[in-house]
Chain A
Amino acid sequence: MKAFTQIPPGTQILIGRAARRRRVLERVICSVFEGWSYEEIIPPIFDYYDVFIKGMGTGPEEQIYRFIDREGNILALRPEFTSLVAKTVATRLASAPRPIRLFYSGEVLRFEKPKGGRQREFAQIGIEHYGGIGKTSDVEVLLIAVEAFQRLGVPAFQINLGSVDFFGGIVDRMELPAGQIGELKDILNVKDQSGLEALLETLPLGDRRKEILRAIPHLTGGRAIIEEARQLVRNPRSVEALDHLEHIYSIFERFDLAQHLTIDLGEIRGFDYYTGILFRAYVRDLGFEVASGGRYDGLPSAFGEDLPAVGFSFSLDRLEQMVTPALSMPDPDAISIDADNGFEQALQHRRLGKAVKLCL
């Protein structure tokens, strides 16, 4: 019988060194979060299905594991933490003083193709910052991400920072139907120039606007990119987004971190809930992003409270694939003790905090 001999696709089991590596990684990152005064939240593993639909939007709904309880409620296993935390902040923590800083660590489940060392059940660890001042809290979460990479001993990490407002400000004025905006986003997300040309031919836009759209996939780089983008847009939403990105970039420059930051104005992927900056972090020679996050001011209002929010999460399963000193897990050193008559000796060593191994 299959159930007794095979594992279901999408699950994985961590044993020994792999499990130790998971815990070490978790501890290092938690200590960084705690060092910036974030408090742990342990949310439930399931909640009402609608909670996650509110958060993630209707695109990824087919990835959600859902089930029906005995009263007929539709529930879901958490596919992410952000919606759960947003709901908690807007309800249980409604009267707690702002800003609220929370971190979480645990498994999430998504029915998707396992890839990049990530199964359908995978581990996320991340932070949520609620009710802060936009500018400052954006910088705060980015600096926390940087510190976590540094503590893990990752030398070549790259944070790719964009803003939904830059693109948003541009398309706001074009008054395109939602379907065409979706198509445009899909094309820009893969920087598909020829696809963009084909689409532009069908759009009722003037030459100047088409030029702006053509430029978007190339607007990736350092400070110069922000200047280049300024020549293209005049609408307040896009301009404000550029001011903000420049502010963040300056701070990274000031602390000698600019080499880890890439401004990417073509970066517009992600869940529907993002409202301001959004970012993804990559490490050299790992093909998939290891962290992602951004600002989602609208999300808490879905649960009854209008509150600015920003956060990000690391994918532990992906980080574990990196080889850094912090993660090279030696086998534990234990004193071998003959099990016959050895308990006294073993207890003595244990009192001194030493590891023992009874030999039978």
Chain B
Amino acid sequence: MLVIALCKGRYLEPSLSMLSRANIRFPDYVEYGAADVGVAGRDVIMESRADLLQPLDLNFGHCRIAVAGPEGAHSINGSDHPTVRVATKYPRITLDYYNTRGIPVEIIALSGSIELAPLIGLADRIVDLVETGRTLKENGLEIVEIIAESSARLLVNRAGYQTKREEVLGMIHALEKVVQCESSI
């Protein structure tokens, strides 16, 4: 028997990816072996650093994790202040990103409406998921740099992969076919 973790209503809603992004704790279910297989956005996996197999890109929910700032901002730095203030729901990704560029960062961890932070002077930049860029535009923001591309991934627990291999591989192959079919349309 395979235990599959899915977000509620995931395949019913047209915006499937939105739910997986909303469900931050999702990879934990799979990492802890409560579920053998699950689905989550690459952004969530990167942020949680869960130790999981990610054998399949499900090819939906495409978006980008990006640094954004007020229109006309061309650098991931903020003002001339040496430390840049960044609002985000991805504190780890943000910290890694700025650290590897040698830029001191002060992270303001928010859970929603990140795009409002620069407007009210809470932050110089934001790191957020960008799908179409419309929300950014509506708030007078634009992408400065793209950190990573994200889409929905199939996750498999390492122990489940070994102890229920036939079932897990069967499922991966079945899903692989669906993904191939859909992308060839």
Contacts and interface: CB of A to CB of B under 8 A. Distances in A.
Contacts of B52: 190
B53 A156 contact: no
A341 interface: no
A288 interface: yes
A194 B162 CA distance: 22
Majority-rule SS of A interface residues: mixed
Nearest to B56: A193
B163 A156 contact: yes
Interface stretch (B16-24, B30-38, B82-90, B96-104): B30-38
A194 B57 contact: yes
A116 interface: yes
A268 to B, nearest CB: 13
Contacts of B157: 287
A283 B55 contact: no
Contacts of A116: 32
A107 interface: no
B55 A191 contact: yes
Interface in B114-160: 151, 153, 156-160
A286 B55 contact: no
Contacts of A285: 33, 163
A319 B89 CA distance: 36
A226 to B, nearest CB: 16
B168 to A, nearest CB: 10
A192 B162 contact: no
Most buried by B among A193, A262, A289: A193
Given A190-B53, A193-B55, A194-B57, A115 B32 contact: yes
A192 B54 contact: yes
B162 A160 contact: yes
A354 interface: no
A111 interface: no
A220 interface: yes
B72 to A, nearest CB: 31
Interface residues of B, number: 22
B74 interface: no
B165 interface: yes
B159 A283 contact: yes
Given A156-B163, A158-B163, A262-B165, A191 B32 contact: no
A287 B31 contact: yes
Contacts of A193: 55-57
Contact of B33 (A156, A221, A262, A287): A287
Contacts of A156: 163
A264 B53 CA distance: 13
Contacts of B32: 115-116, 287-288
A284 B163 CA distance: 6
B103 to A, nearest CB: 21
Contacts of B164: 284
Interface in A173-232: 190-195, 217, 220-221
A221 B165 contact: yes
Contact of B162 (A190, A191, A195, A282): A282
Interface of B: 30-34, 52-57, 151, 153, 156-160, 162-165
Interface of A: 115-116, 156, 158, 160, 190-195, 217, 220-221, 262, 264, 280, 282-289
23 contacts: A116-B32, A156-B163, A158-B163, A160-B162, A190-B52, A190-B54, A191-B53, A192-B54, A193-B56, A221-B165, A262-B165, A264-B162, A282-B158, A282-B162, A284-B163, A285-B33, A287-B31, A287-B32, A287-B160, A288-B32, A288-B33, A289-B158, A289-B159
Given A116-B32, A194-B56, 7 more contacts: A115-B31, A158-B163, A195-B54, A282-B158, A287-B32, A287-B157, A288-B158
7 tightest A-B contacts by CB? Answer: A287-B33, A194-B57, A282-B159, A158-B162, A191-B55, A284-B163, A192-B54
